[in-house]
Each structure stands twice: as structure tokens, then as C-alpha cells.
Amino acid sequence: MRARTAVLALLLAISCRKAPGPPDPNYQEARRIYDQLYVSKLDDAYGDPQMDTVAGLLEKVDHDSVDAPPAEALLGTIKRGREEFAKSRAEREKMQKTAQDVVAAPNIDPSRVLGLDQVDAGAPPDPFGPGASLSEINAASGGCLVPGEPFRENVTNRSGTVYRLSSAAACTQRLAGFVGQMVLVTDGRIYRRMPDSEARQVSGPDAGAPPADAGTPAPDAGTQARSAPAANSGAATDAGTTEQFLYIPGAPLPPGMQFPGAGTAGQDAGY
């Protein structure tokens, strides 16, 4: 009895269920337009204005129509497609703007960035080498370079004063590189530095008494430094008054001058 009642209830429910309606022309038209757009533009079709027409037709589909379920599904597809299209479009616009900014940026000269356009000034000047200011060195060291005898260059006729480092312990510590050196200074700047041990004394007739045969001086830019007259500079010899000079290696001997004892050595050797 119960089984028969259940079967009757099921049959009644089936008979009361409304059958789906006929196909809806709105869906048919919407599907046609959608297919044409997607075939021609693929995912870009979701940004086409005609997609709004497709969505409007799908919303008009009768809910009782057999086309209602597929119309609802197509609306969901269009919604998701539009979201992806908007996202990808924003990314493309961002990349395009970046590319435009790069093109619009002023051209960068690599040589200027790397400093290649600047003339190489070479190594910085030696603060204690040729051209260095004597006053600046003495100001920084406390006057450690002391003036001595004058000098005059034989060919260029440049003249100046020979300076040497003071023997004070503070000076030898501050300017250790000047220990045992002669510093030739002209116009207040260092002209040349050389070991003091290389300088030698030479003697010759006084400038007032011309030598017997001066000859032609060698065309060398050597440097001679005149020292204080020797103790016996006032003594007269057969060649006249003798004057002492400080000889710097590489410089030619002034006319009529010789190293002390050179004449005697020459006679002993048979010259």
C-alpha cells in the first residue's frame, strides 16, 4: 500500500512539472554575434563594444526557455573574459608608458658619465718636487729649509740659492726626504734636488782675470753653484786670484777651471 502511494506521488510531481519553453531568438542572435567576434579577435573581443550587445540579448532570454541555461553560462564567460581583458590591457598600457618614457628621456653620453670627456691631468704634482713653493714647505715645516750659497746655471744663466735641511731633529723627522740633499731654488720655487755628496769643489781664476785660453764652452745646461770664497781666495797665484765654485755633476766646468790637484795629477801622468 505504501509503495503504491509513493509511486502515485512521483507520477503526480512529474505531471505537474512544467516543460521547458521553445528556443529563444535572443540567445540565438547573441550566440551568432559572440562567435563572430571571438573568431576574429580572440580575447580582445571582450573589449569590443559589440560585446555589450551580446550581453544585452542574453539578459533578455526567457527563463523558461530551453536556451536559458546556456545563456546564463555565456554571460558568465563574458564577465570573466572582460575582467581578464581589463587586467591585460592595464599591463600593456603600463609597459607602453614605460617605453615612451625611455624614448623621451634625453640621450645619455656614456663618455660624460664615465668622465672620459675630461682631459687627464696626469699624476698630481709632487709637493716637494720641481715647481714646489719653498715658502709653503717652510710654512708647513717651521722653516726647516735653510738658505746657503748662491748658484748660477752656466748656459741658461738661471740663478738662485742652494737650500739645505736644518739639522734640527724635528726637521729631519718632518722632511726626512731632504736629508743629505741640496735644494736649488729659483724665484721662490724648487728648481732641482740632488744629493749633497755629489757636489764637488772646483777652482779657477777670478772672473776679473781672463784665463789664458778660455776656448769654447761645451753646449751643456749644467749647473754650477758658487760657494763662499775659500779661506785662501785672496792669495794670488801665477794665474791670478783663485775662486772656489761648487760643481754639480752633469754640468760642464766653466772655462779655465779644474778640480783641485787635477793639474798635478796630469803632470805626474805625463800630460
Q: Are residues 89 and 132 in the same domain?
A: no
Q: Are residues 173 and 242 in the same domain?
A: yes
The helix (H) or strand (E) run that includes residue 243 is strand 240-247
pTM of the model: 0.39
Q: Are residues 132 and 85 in the same domain?
A: no
In this predicted structure, the answer to whether residue 85 has a pLDDT above a threshold of 50 is: yes
Q: Are residues 165 and 239 in the same domain?
A: yes
If one counts every other C-beta atom within 10 angstroms of the C-beta of residue 264, the result is 9
| Separation of alpha carbons 238 and 199, rounded Å | 27
pLDDT single digits (tens) 15-50: 555 566 788 888 989 999 999 988 888 888 888 888
Residue 145 confidence (pLDDT):
94
In this predicted structure, the answer to whether residue 176 has a pLDDT above a threshold of 60 is: yes
Residue 166 confidence (pLDDT):
93
Per the DSSP assignment, residues forming a β-bridge with 190 are 185
Q: Are residues 136 and 249 in the same domain?
A: yes
Boundaries of domain holding 37: 20-93
Going by pLDDT thresholds of 50, 70 and 90, the confidence category of residue 60 is confident
Domain assignment present for residue 159? The answer is yes
Domain assignment present for residue 249? The answer is yes
Per-chain mean pLDDT for the chain: 73
Q: Average pLDDT of 105-109?
A: 61
* Overall number of domains in the chain: 2
pLDDT single digits (tens) 35-44: 998 888 888 8
Which residues are within 8 A (CB) of 215 and not within 5 positions of it... i.e. 6 or more apart?
255
Last residue of a domain, one of 67, 93, 119: 93
Last residue of a domain, one of 93, 113, 143: 93
The greatest distance separating any two alpha carbons of the chain, rounded to the nearest whole angstrom, comes to 172
